[in-house]
Structure 1
Amino acid sequence: MTGYPAPTARFSPTARLSEGVAGWVDHYLLSGDPAEPCLHLGEPVNRHHLRRLVDDRRQQLAAVGLTAGGTVALRLPPSLDYVTTLLAAWRLGAQVALLDHRLTLAETERALHRLRPQYLIGPESVEPLTDGQPATSAHVLVQLSSGSTGPSKVIARTSADLVRELDCYRQLAHYPGRGERIVLLASMVHVLGLVGGLLHSLRSGLELVVPQRLTPPGILAAVRAAEVPTTLLGVPFYAELLARMAQPPPTPQLVRMIVAGELVRPSVPAAFAARYGVPLGTMYGMTEIGVIATDLTGELYPSVRPVAGMRAELIDGELHLAQPESPYLGLTDPGRWSDGLLHTRDAADLDRTTGLITVRGRQDSQVSIGGLKVDLTEVEQTLAALPGVREAVVAFADGAIEAYAAADTTAELLRAELAGQLAGYKLPRRLTLLPALPRTATGKVLRDAQALRAAAAAVHPS
């Protein structure tokens, strides 16, 4: 990094994003040996080819009017087009918001209303948006968090913060480095796949491989495709799938699997290690700050060790992290960030002697489904707003979302309506209709999953 200007951390709303911010992509992500393989998204791509594709895409985006200080939302599936568009927009000095391609039209429209980008880029189009606004901050990346209630759900990060996180990855012992491969099972829209996968690979000289099929045979085929030390990077869901595979083929290339996004069930690390002879490492992180703590060897489970420079505090059983500025755009809920501390809303234990953190689970309504964050409040409010629904409550039990409603319609119709409003991973596994929701003596709706199941069993005995 010697001799390169530090990415700009401040921004004047009347000026474009500085060349230092726009240029960080060339310096950190696109430099290196032109012949070096860097991506495998259906076909191999070396750095020379990637740079050419990014430059072509940059010219295309400039031709439609995207400029430094402009704003764009990407809604693309994992693909070479996604990677080149993201990097090209950053090279122009634009602020990029990432939308999961699995969002429904209704969810996408709500996100666009909140973010106000000037352009929406889909698989086959670049759509100018009439109500779009230019950037009002120096943040290069904007993501939507699905936290619980409150206004502070738009998360933004500067290029300086992304480089800080990339430095954390480079300092991690046992995290894949130059000459190795990452087979990515996590979404590149979300922080693990984006920074720990895509950006780290480009920065550190790895080849990033996205399997064509996210099935156990497809994943292992991607691992076996090259005689290079390979790390699987994903969420616990895939570790469980692989651990259950009866007779996996030999994978001498596999050195470890690393998972994040939700708590790992106690039986999984040992089962995975027994099946493949390599450790199941874990990471703990947040969209707001990226990687926070790790246990890449599996020796600390269920604890993790904070990465270099991360300062953690435990306040009333909740984990707080030092963060000098709010990571949220717009008004900041003091319950999420205040006085230089990010409130994780995770219940945890903190060993004052070793510094190890043991995360116990969420303190609010946010849960993880297959590594993707879901706000139960959003699901509940969407269900309650459907025609014919009088009242609704959503609970989380045994790793699944359950919904209960009093409604003048059928469960089948409600499921169909919900499918048009919510992404598939947000949909309740079970939706039960009741004459009325059970309530406490004071009139509040019961939210305990066991009580709700008991009420359902009384109405619908098996």
Structure 2
Amino acid sequence: MTGYDERPWLAAYPPGRRPHLRREFATALDLFESAAATAPDGPALHYFDQTLTWSQVDAAAAALAALLVARGFAPGDRLALCLQNDPAFVIGLVAAWKAGGTAAPLSPMSTTGELARSFGNVEPSALLVLEDLYLDRIRPVLATGTTSVRVVVTVSPLDGQHTADPRIFAGSTRLRPADTVDLTELIAAYTSAPPLPDSPERRVGPSDVAVLAATSGTSGPSKDAQITHANLAFSAQVYRDWTGLSAGEPILALAPVFHVTGLVGGVVLAMLTASPLVLTHRFHAGVIAEATRRHRPVFCAAVITAYIALAEDPDVRAADLESLRLRYSGGAPIDPEIADRLEEQLGGYIHNIYGQTETSSPSHAVPPGTRSPVDPESGVMSVGVPVFDTDVRVVDDDGNDLPVGEIGELVTMGPQVIPGYWRDPIATAETFSGGALHTGDVGFMDADGWFYVVDRKKDQINAAGYKVWPSEVERVLATHPDIEEAAVIGIPDEYRGETVKAFVVPAAGVDLAPAEVIAYCRDRLAAYKYPREVEVLTALPRTATGKILRRKLR
């Protein structure tokens, strides 16, 4: 017995929460259809001055699904979604399910080459895409004739709203590519079109893949995670039941909806609770604050960089965000000092939530109203405790359980763990074993069942036989008054095998000398830990959700 079998984390559960969930829905489509049936005239999507009801979203998705089927979309086919936080994303997601297929969100920030690779991996038969993205980056890919796309449906971010807020849409116009189907026109014409035929073979089941979601790719090439309908339905219910979110309470889409956090903790959660989802196309701190004042959302989940951007915008006040009583941050552990500063500036405590694309979002969370403990030795803030029906262990390199407090790899088991990667049996076999996910994250559990993430396993630096975790060095760099942000990697070294290199972004107006940074770290770290090289950058490379891309630094 090493402490995990006793599940000490249950003592931290919110009052009235039991260890097991009674699952209400088998598929994500079931929970959407429940919202459309129980609250047909209730607000589903707020998008600037436009509001769509659940029945309107249902009808729009049915129109798109009918077109897909008419164009040969077969059960199990993929509909690629190249969109921002737009109503069309929700419509496309549901349409794919209604047609018996899978949605494949692709980042709208992707380059032409990255999109071409995604099309080759996912092999979508249909595409729902923003007009400008189609014209600039996707039409050249489709023109090669090498993709599987048979029909393209385009949307404008101006569709359905009249504000055209210049902070978001400066210079935007409707482009209406002639070689595509326009979603607005399609929906308008659907009232006179034949309904989608009721076909049992198109009815999705719990084990069917609902979404192919790209992993973050922070330490290597991105993979496509097969998130099933059962995964989505379970994880959305975890968010609701863990936080105590009530039916109809508005939700702010602060994270990108094409990422697993925004998808599950935004779109699918809103379906489950029949709540209006507040969408703003893309992140702009002032626009977010204004939308929050207008629509009074109660819940949001996003990476910590989004909250930092809100705090640093001079036009955003704590009073603008007062309706947000449930604030969660995922993607990366929060530095305790940053958490304290954000609580003071934004007027509310930000709870940690932890998970991966492979766990269809949450595997750990901090209970609402509870402050996350900080490990006194490392200074790391806990990411939370395992959520309902979830078991987590910390293991060594041979897969053996480590004692409480010892650092190793986190291995997660639960209904939110996906079955594997799309068309990648080797990576699936390496990452998943007996239904357990080897997360690649390194951390430990304390005696009370709280978990702490130290770093990514692949990012560990081996300097002359000594282990160095980049996060430990980065925490020291974060205390330097002239450093805005920093990232650390290992680089080859003839003497040590590997040594530490730091990339730093100086504060505005500061001329930062690498030698001074090295000296600062040498006074505060063991000899094998302080960086031997420092490179000054204007910005660190990040994913769309704010994670640092160390592989690009390498």
TM-score (norm. length: structure 1): 0.71
Q: How far 1:332 sits from its partner (Å)?
A: 3.5
Q: How far 1:120 sits from its partner (Å)?
A: 3.1
Equivalent residues of 1:36, 1:46 under 8 A apart:
yes
C-alpha separation between the residues in 1 aligned to 2:46 and 2:98? 22
> Residue in 1 aligned with 2:15?
none
> Residue in 2 aligned with 1:62?
69
- What do residues 26-84 of structure 1 show as CA deviations (whole Å, max 9, x unaligned)? 53553321111111123111112211211222222223221322222221222112211
1:33 is aligned with what amino acid?
A
> Residue in 2 aligned with 1:448?
501
Return the match for 1:231 from 279, 299, 305: 299
SS at match of 2:393: strand
C-alpha separation between the residues in 1 aligned to 2:56 and 2:349? 35
2:371 aligned with 1:299? yes
- CA 1:444 to 1:36, structure 2 compared with 1: closer, same or farther past 3 Å? same
> Residue in 2 aligned with 1:24?
30
1:140 is aligned with what amino acid?
A
Q: How far 1:338 sits from its partner (Å)?
A: 1.9
- CA 1:355 to 1:142, structure 2 compared with 1: closer, same or farther past 3 Å? same
> Residue in 1 aligned with 2:276?
207
Q: How far 1:144 sits from its partner (Å)?
A: 1.8
- CA 1:109 to 1:306, structure 2 compared with 1: closer, same or farther past 3 Å? same
Q: How far 1:212 sits from its partner (Å)?
A: 5.7
> Residue in 2 aligned with 1:356?
450
- What do residues 399-436 of structure 1 show as CA deviations (whole Å, max 9, x unaligned)? 9xxxxxxxxxxxxxxxxxxxxxxxxxxxx999xxxxxx
Q: How far 1:336 sits from its partner (Å)?
A: 1.6
> Residue in 2 aligned with 1:338?
433
Equivalent residues of 1:72, 1:118 under 8 A apart:
yes
SS at match of 2:532: helix
Q: How far 1:268 sits from its partner (Å)?
A: 2.2
> Residue in 1 aligned with 2:85?
78
2:291 aligned with 1:197? no
C-alpha separation between the residues in 2 aligned to 1:276 and 1:441? 48
Return the match for 2:388 from 270, 289, 308: 308
Equivalent residues of 2:44, 2:54 under 8 A apart:
yes
Q: How far 1:155 sits from its partner (Å)?
A: 0.9
TM alignment of 1:86-101, pairs within 5 A: 86-101=93-108
> Residue in 2 aligned with 1:179?
248
Q: How far 1:197 sits from its partner (Å)?
A: 0.5
Q: How far 1:229 sits from its partner (Å)?
A: 5.4
> Residue in 1 aligned with 2:184?
none
2:213 is aligned with what amino acid?
Q
1:36 is aligned with what amino acid?
G
> Residue in 1 aligned with 2:191?
none
Unaligned stretches of 5+ in structure 2?
1-20, 151-201, 374-380, 397-407, 461-469, 476-484, 503-530, 538-554
Q: How far 1:314 sits from its partner (Å)?
A: 0.3
- CA 1:215 to 1:297, structure 2 compared with 1: closer, same or farther past 3 Å? farther
C-alpha separation between the residues in 2 aligned to 1:95 and 1:130? 21
- CA 1:150 to 1:336, structure 2 compared with 1: closer, same or farther past 3 Å? farther
Return the match for 1:37 from 37, 43, 51: 43
Which of the pair is proportionally richer in helix?
Answer: 2
1:219 is aligned with what amino acid?
I
Return the match for 1:217 from 273, 281, 286: 286
What's the % identity of the aligned pairs? 24
2:338 aligned with 1:268? yes
TM-score (norm. length: structure 2): 0.60
2:411 aligned with 1:320? yes
- CA 1:254 to 1:164, structure 2 compared with 1: closer, same or farther past 3 Å? closer
> Residue in 2 aligned with 1:392?
none
- CA 1:161 to 1:345, structure 2 compared with 1: closer, same or farther past 3 Å? same
1:310 is aligned with what amino acid?
T
TM alignment of 1:247-262, pairs within 5 A: 248=317, 250-251=319-320, 252-262=322-332
Deviates more, 1:354-363 or 1:321-330: 321-330
C-alpha separation between the residues in 2 aligned to 1:40 and 1:85? 17
SS at match of 2:243: coil
Equivalent residues of 2:249, 2:297 under 8 A apart:
yes
- CA 1:150 to 1:187, structure 2 compared with 1: closer, same or farther past 3 Å? closer
- CA 1:150 to 1:337, structure 2 compared with 1: closer, same or farther past 3 Å? farther
- CA 1:69 to 1:130, structure 2 compared with 1: closer, same or farther past 3 Å? farther
> Residue in 1 aligned with 2:546?
none
Unaligned stretches of 5+ in structure 1?
8-20, 367-394, 400-427, 431-436, 457-462
- CA 1:157 to 1:117, structure 2 compared with 1: closer, same or farther past 3 Å? same
Deviates more, 1:321-330 or 1:153-162: 321-330
Higher RCO (CA < 8 A, seq sep 6+): 2
1:40 is aligned with what amino acid?
H
Q: How far 1:95 sits from its partner (Å)?
A: 1.8
SS at match of 2:209: coil
Q: How far 1:131 sits from its partner (Å)?
A: 5.1
1:240 is aligned with what amino acid?
I
Equivalent residues of 1:242, 1:272 under 8 A apart:
no
Q: How far 1:96 sits from its partner (Å)?
A: 1.9
> Residue in 1 aligned with 2:126?
119
